[in-house]
Amino acid sequence: MKVLVILGHPDKNSFNHAIADTCRHQLVENGHSVVFHDLYEEGFNPIIDTVEIPRDGKVDETIKSHCDDLISSDGIVIIHPNWWGQPPAILKGWIDRVIRPGIAYGFEAGDNGEGTPIGLLKANIGLVFNTSNTSEVRENNIFKDPLDTIWRNCIFDLCGVKQFDRRMFRIVVASDLVQRIIWLNEVETMIDKYFPTNKI
């Protein structure tokens, strides 16, 4: 399988980077090909402008290349911290610019965007890893965990990616090395579950 891995975190020493490294290693170990984008490392520009928005809008070469990666993937893995119940702006910009009409979703003939979109992605699994400094009780009871519905319903399900799983690691700021190693083992296990070893 071809698996797209997207990372949105500014700190190369972050646990998010460790999760990304683990994902990439385990995917390759299992015989898959990985397309990896560290959005901060690449200096991704998250600002969409007016001319880019329509289905036939003007899209630059970087975004075209990202779109090619997205539509050709069999699976998608997203890694980012929980900042205000949302991804960091750089990853929000990847969503705004790359998950485009005509690429990830479309509309029935005669529908000008007011109807229900049709998912176009061929990927059959979307996997999200988040880090957080909020307790599970507070996240679920006070904040209602908006990241879950954002990725599960607003994005992956809408774009036709019907299988979804997500793991939020917490409390990262108070975690020690032993805890982090246990968490990275969980990442490996999730990769093994959804992207098992390719048997020829």
Interface with a copy of itself (CB under 8 A)? 10-11, 40, 46-50, 53, 83-90, 92-93, 95-96, 99, 112-114, 116, 133, 138, 142-144, 146, 149-150, 153-155, 157, 171, 173-174
* Secondary structure (3-state) at 76: strand
| Min separation Cβ 28 and a copy of itself, Å | 27
Nearer CB in complex with a copy of itself: 113/178: 113
- β-strands 33-38, 105-106 pairing: unpaired
| Min separation Cβ 18 and a copy of itself, Å | 15
Nearer CB in complex with a copy of itself: 108/113: 113
Q: The sheet that has 2-7: what strands, in order across it? A: 33-38, 2-7, 75-81, 125-132, 163-170
| Min separation Cβ 29 and a copy of itself, Å | 30
Nearer CB in complex with a copy of itself: 61/113: 113
Strand partners, 129: 79, 167
Nearer CB in complex with a copy of itself: 120/192: 120
Measured CA to CA, the distance from residue 115 to residue 138 in angstroms comes to: 35
Measured CA to CA, the distance from residue 158 to residue 139 in angstroms comes to: 24
